[in-house]
Amino acid sequence: MRWTFATGTIIPVFALLVLSACSTDYDVTEVAPAEHLVTDEHAGHDHAPGEPCYETDIESEQPLTGEETTSIDEEREAAHAGHAHDEGDRNHGTQWFFNQPWAAPFIWGKLVRDSLVFLALAVGIFFATRKRSKR
């Protein structure tokens, strides 16, 4: 197998597969564990049990009980301890990241994965487009 063939075809295809293998990406809200589901974005609207949440893409399987609601409220208050925005304001930028430390390893993993994929693509394209120098 020629090196140019390997780098020119297999690596990009593999890289795209790796990238697209993940249905979710950097949106923390899309992968938040159940106990972290109630966020500023999620709090603003209601939907029926079993109906997919438009903003989080995660199905709410059961209606929240009174106890759960209380515990989530407590967590939410805790999460808001360092939050500078007013109640109900939407997070923006990377602030969500620093507000939700549980998400850090998830995001770091994504960043490292994508970095390596793009690095492999860059190296592959560099070698695949090289010109022959010998006749």
Partner 1 sequence: MADVHPLQVKRLSKRFPRKRGLGSVQAVSDLSFAVRQGEIVGFIGHNGAGKTTTIKCLLGLLKPSEGSISLWGYTPASRKVRARIGYIPENPDYDDSFSPMEYLSMFASMRGLSGDDKSWLKLLKRVGLSSWETTGIRQFSKGMRQRMSLAIALQSNPDLLVLDEPTGGLDPMARKEFREIIIEENKRGASVFLSSHILSDVETICHRAVILSRGKLVTEGSMKELLGGENLYRIVVISRKTGEEIEEIIPEADLQSRIDSLRRDNLPIVKVEMALKSLEDVFLSAAGGESK
Partner 2 sequence: MKTVFTFSLMTLRMLARRRTLWGILIVIFLALVGISSVPSFDVGNQGRFILDFGLFGIEVGALLLALGLASNLYPRDRETRSLMPLLAVPLARWQYLLGRFFGAALVQAAALIVTCLGLMLILLFHELPIPADLLPATLLIIVEGWFLLSTVFFFSFIASPPLNWPLTTMLFVVSQMSVSEFVGIMPSAPGFMRFVRLLLPHADVFHIKDPIAHGFEIEPVYFIIAIFYGLCYAAFMLSLALALFRGRDIK
Interface residue list for partner 2 (CB under 8 A): 19-20, 22-27, 29-30, 55, 57, 82, 84, 92-95, 97-98, 104, 107-108, 111-112, 114-116, 118-119, 121-126, 128-131
Nearest partner of 38 among 78, 2, 76, judged by Cα: 76
Binding mask 76-115 vs partner 1 (x if CB under 8 A, - otherwise)? ----------------------------------------
Q: Helix 104-128 vs helix 11-20: angle between axes, to the nearest 10 degrees?
A: 160
Residue 133 within binding range of partner 1, rule CB under 8 A = yes
Backbone angles phi, psi at 119, to 5 degrees: -65, -45
Please report how close the Cβ of residue 106 comes to partner 2 at its closest, in angstroms: 12
- Token readout for 93 is 């930028």
Return the residues of window 112-131 that contact partner 1 according to CB under 8 A.
131
Nearest C-alpha neighbor of 94 from the set 27, 42, 37, 25: 27
Residue 30 · residue 57 · CB < 8 Å: yes
Q: For the stretch 22-51, what's the b/e string if a residue is b when 16 or more beta carbons lie within 10 angstroms of its beta carbon?
A: eeeeeebbebbeeebbbbbebeeeeeeeee
Chosen from partner 1, partner 2, none, partner binding at 55 (C-beta under 5 to 8 Å by type): partner 2
Residues 36-55 that bind partner 1 (CB under 8 A): none
* Rounded least distance, CB 60 to partner 2, Å: 16
Instruction: Report, in Å, the least distance between residue 84 CB and partner 2.
Output: 4
Q: Among partner 1, partner 2, none, what does residue 14 contact (CB within 5–8 Å per kind)?
A: none
Where along the sequence are the contacts to partner 1 (CB under 8 A)? Answer: 131-135
